[in-house]
Chains A and B, each alone.
Chain A
Amino acid sequence: MNSASAMRPSNLLPGGVAAVGALLGLGLLVFVRPPTAEEHRGTALQLWYTTGADESKPQAPVWFNESQDEIYIERVGLPFMQIEQKFLTSVVGNVAPDLFEYFGSVAQWSARGALLPLDEFMERDGFDRSRVFDSLWGEMTWEGKTFALPTGVGCDAFYWNKDHFREAGLDPEKPPATWDKLEEFAHKLVVRNEEGEMTRAGYIPGYWSPMSVSGYPIFLFWPAQLGAKFVSNDGRKVNLTSEACVQAMEWEAGLFRRLGGDDLVRMRNSFGYADQQGFISGQVSMIAQKNSFVQELRKFAPELDYGVSLFPVPEGGHPSTTFGPVWIGIPACAKHPEQAWEYIKFYTTDDIQTRSAAYAVDHDQVAFFPANKTAAQSPKQMSVPHMPVFIESMKWGTPTTVVPLAHTVFYREYALAWDNATLGKKTPRQALLDAETEIQRALEGQLDYAEFYRKHLEQETAMAEDRG
């Protein structure tokens, strides 16, 4: 290659591009730095929490840091889709945080030895369990030990569009109180256009998120209203084929078909989030949603006139709702458990809980309401629309974690069964039976493994004692 051709533009170009690229890259490397830790004094502890779409941060750590100098809490936010897996990898990789605040199942961690039991701390410092809604403690414990403290709650409620009710000639202040009334109203609320396409659905069973099928949430409160218990008392046997479960699913599947079947599928698939959400965009008249929905309504449809109530109840049944707690715990391998507990103590006092709630309300972050009874009933908290309904629901709650050791399998299989039943691919009984079989298999495997681990720990402590 002689010098002339070597100088031709097409030969210089890659080199030129590489040079420019290298410069840009270098610039990025030099000038963009990962966020440095804030200035602090005292031992630094890391608190992991879940970031949602609203980018809010917990405030209690800030107040804690301001109140003393020995311990500094650093807040690290993780996206909610990844936080579980990240926590697992961090515990495994021995890079776990000192504090973990999350809203999923506690037992799936405690059963695996990933969290520190807190009973000793609680005894020593005289923690009063009645501060918090009683129904929440079940989720916090595993095999008699407490592994986390509840700090917040989310529960489901029934929302209806009052304007739609008026249009359809229904009393806007009277939501359907029974399953039959729900169906009756839903039929009346449907609106179709000239081509016969459904443009407004009265009610879409199971609709909440646009990821329609094979996803969360699952509405366990429908079968719970008929008295269904999904797992035996000792937690060893899954039961999804009780009469209550089958009846509830038969009702939901039938309702889905009677209210429009394919039409509902199409509408459900076209919904999105935020202002594309079905209820917010006025395309669905009644919906089962979380208490945090109040927030979204305020943000995206402030003009929407809606009501909130407990769910319609079947003949001979009782009200119910599902709730999931937000909890805070200490990873078992945390390096500063004592200091971590100091923060937890601080955070769970009535005073701080009330302040957190007030802060959330003031800043439009009402995704969860406090687990602390005093805070939940404080004036600021009660000013959140429909708060009384949510508090009332807590009396009838069913926890969302039903099978702690096979939590993900449970939800995946139940969702699949629900989809198969409502889309008519399987009979409800068969769908539930298939789900039950699979969940039972996973559960039994996990129970064996837990037993094995228990023996393993016993051996280890025995060996340590021998040596010691």
Chain B
Amino acid sequence: MIRSPIVNFLHHLAMWAIAFLMIVPFLWIVSSSLKKPEEVFQEDAQLIPGEIVWSNYTRAFETMPVLLYSRNTVLITFLCIVGYLTSGSMVAFAFARLRWPGRDVCFVLLLATMMLPPQVTIVPLFVIFRHLGWIDTYYPLIVPSYLTGWPFFIFLLRQFFLSIPVDLGDAAKVDGASHFQVYSRIVLPLSKPALAVVAVFAFLLHWNDFFGPLIFLTQESKFTLALGLAVFSGNHPNEWGILMAVSILMLIPTVVVFFFCQRYFVEGITLTGLKQ
């Protein structure tokens, strides 16, 4: 379809103008994090700081145990990713490649849980975890990823497994392979892209997770970055320079992951087969 050069030009203009609008807030918060407090609280603030200072970042490390919170977040995120990859793939395998009574009913239930508002279960979960003695530990945040996983991940992996030709598995079974061997020797290795997608999304999910830690963690030394930032913003409500610095510190890993694993984001969405 041939378009007039004017329309073409306008199209390009719109595209880049919106891209600029999307980026401006980033520029603004980076700039705020590098400004002196007096400059931050100016009615005619400039985008480029008059003087670049790193004090917001150093103060952030002084007033908030950033390294500790990062460690905690890394620990939880990593353990959860392992959980999703191992048990999630096993469960998806059961849905995709095995036949068992009740399988389809369970799959519908799985889809239904995606629609369940977390508020319905949070109070009883709290009571259950209390009886298990898990309040103020990391168990409530990690164990679910080894059991139910995240329904969306199981769904995604199942879709992917379905696309692997059945003959491969059948051939192996004729040779005497057990189901587990089909799973581990054939399906899993072929699923690296899908597993990578799950890992990337799981990382984003848990790095930013705030509600779980809010409810289940008590001691400050156990906090995650997201919870720490939330609490900090409540206790130091006006220290915008520091708040921006901490937000940026939190963002950096996610941005890095994004830039280098871009294609997994795209693949992740298209893998769900929504476009069919």
Q: Are A13 and B238 in contact (CB under 8 A)?
A: no
Chain B, range 49-82, C-beta contacts under 8 Å to A: 63, 67-68, 70-72, 74-75, 78
Q: Does A32 contact B (CB under 8 A)?
A: yes
**Number of B residues whose C-beta is below 8 Å from A?**
37
Select the stretch in A89-97, A146-154, A347-355, A387-395 that faces chain B.
A89-97
Give the residues in chain B near A16, CB-CB below 8 Å.
260
Of the 9-residue stretches A80-88, A164-172, A323-331, A371-379, which lies at the interface with chain B? A80-88
**Could you say which of B71, B215, B235, B260 contacts A28, with CB atoms under 8 Å apart?**
B71
Contacts of A25 in B (CB 8 A): 74, 78
Residues of A within 8 A of B136 (CB): 89-90, 93, 95
Known: A32-B71, A34-B222. A272 touches B238 (CB 8 A): yes
Contact A93 B260 (CB under 8 A): no
Chain B: minimal CB distance from A23 (Å): 11
- Give CA–CA (A110, B260) in the complex, Å: 55
Question: Of A32, A52, A76, A77, which is within 8 A of B68 by CB?
Answer: A32
User: Which of A35, A82, A94, A276 has the most chain B CB atoms closer than 10 A to its own CB?
Assistant: A82
Nearest CB on A from B212, distance (A): 13
- What CA separation (Å) do A86 and B221 show in the bound complex? 13
B130 & A93 in contact (Cβ 8 Å cutoff): yes
In the complex, which residues of chain A have a beta carbon less than 8 angstroms from the beta carbon of B41?
272, 276
CA distance A421 to B46 in the complex (A): 40
Interface hub of A28, A51, A90 (most chain B Cβ within 10 A): A28
- Given the contacts A89-B136, A93-B136, A94-B133, A79 and B68 also touching, CB distance less than 8 Å: no
Expressed in whole angstroms, the Cα–Cα distance for A273 and B257 within the complex equals 36
Partner of A90, one of B215, B218, B260, B264: B218
Which residues of B have CB within 8 Å of A210?
237-238
Contact of B219 with A by CB under 8 A: yes
Does A53 lie at the interface of the complex (its beta carbon under 8 Å from any beta carbon of B)? yes
CB atoms of B253 and A21 under 8 A apart: yes
B196 located at the interface, meaning its Cβ lies under 8 Å from any Cβ of chain A in the complex? yes
Instruction: Decide if the interface of chain B is mainly helix, strand, loop or mixed.
Output: helix
Cβ of B135 within 8 Å of any chain A Cβ, yes or no, is yes
Interface bin, chain A? 35 or more
In A71-125, the 8 Å CB interface with B consists of 76-82, 86, 89-90, 92-95
Cβ of A14 under 8 Å from chain B: yes
Please tell me which one of the listed residues B130, B234, B257 contacts residue A21 in the complex, with CB atoms under 8 A apart.
B257
**Are A28 and B74 CB-contacts (below 8 A) given A81-B231, A90-B136, A90-B218?**
yes
- The verdict on B104 contacting chain A, using a C-beta distance below 8 Å, is no
Interface residue? B120 (CB, 8 A)? no
- Contacts A34-B221, A82-B231, A86-B218 hold; do A14 and B237 have CB atoms under 8 A apart? no
Q: What CA separation (Å) do A179 and B238 show in the bound complex?
A: 33
> Given the complex, which residues of B lie within 8 Å of A79, measured CB to CB?
220, 231, 234-235
Closest A residue, CB atoms, query B38: A275
In the complex, what residues of B have CB within 8 A of residue A21's CB? Answer: 253, 256-257
Contacts of A78 in B (CB 8 A): 218, 220
**Is the beta-carbon distance between B135 and A90 smaller than 8 angstroms?**
yes
- A86-B218, A92-B135, A93-B135 are known contacts. Are A81 and B234 too (CB-CB below 8 A)? yes
Q: Are B238 and A276 in contact (CB under 8 A)?
A: yes
Is A29's CB within 8 Å of the partner chain B? Answer: yes
Contact residues, B106-155 vs A (CB, 8 A): 126, 129-130, 133-136
Residues of B within 8 A of A53 (CB): 235-236
- The answer to whether B261 has its CB under 8 Å from any CB of chain A is yes
Residues of A within 8 A of B219 (CB): 76
25 CB-based A-B contacts, threshold 8 Å: A14-B196, A14-B261, A17-B257, A17-B261, A21-B253, A25-B78, A28-B70, A29-B71, A29-B74, A76-B219, A76-B220, A81-B235, A86-B218, A89-B215, A89-B216, A89-B218, A92-B126, A93-B134, A93-B135, A94-B133, A95-B218, A272-B41, A272-B237, A276-B41, A276-B238
User: Ordered nearest first, which 3 A-B pairs have the shortest CB separation?
Assistant: A93-B135, A272-B238, A17-B260
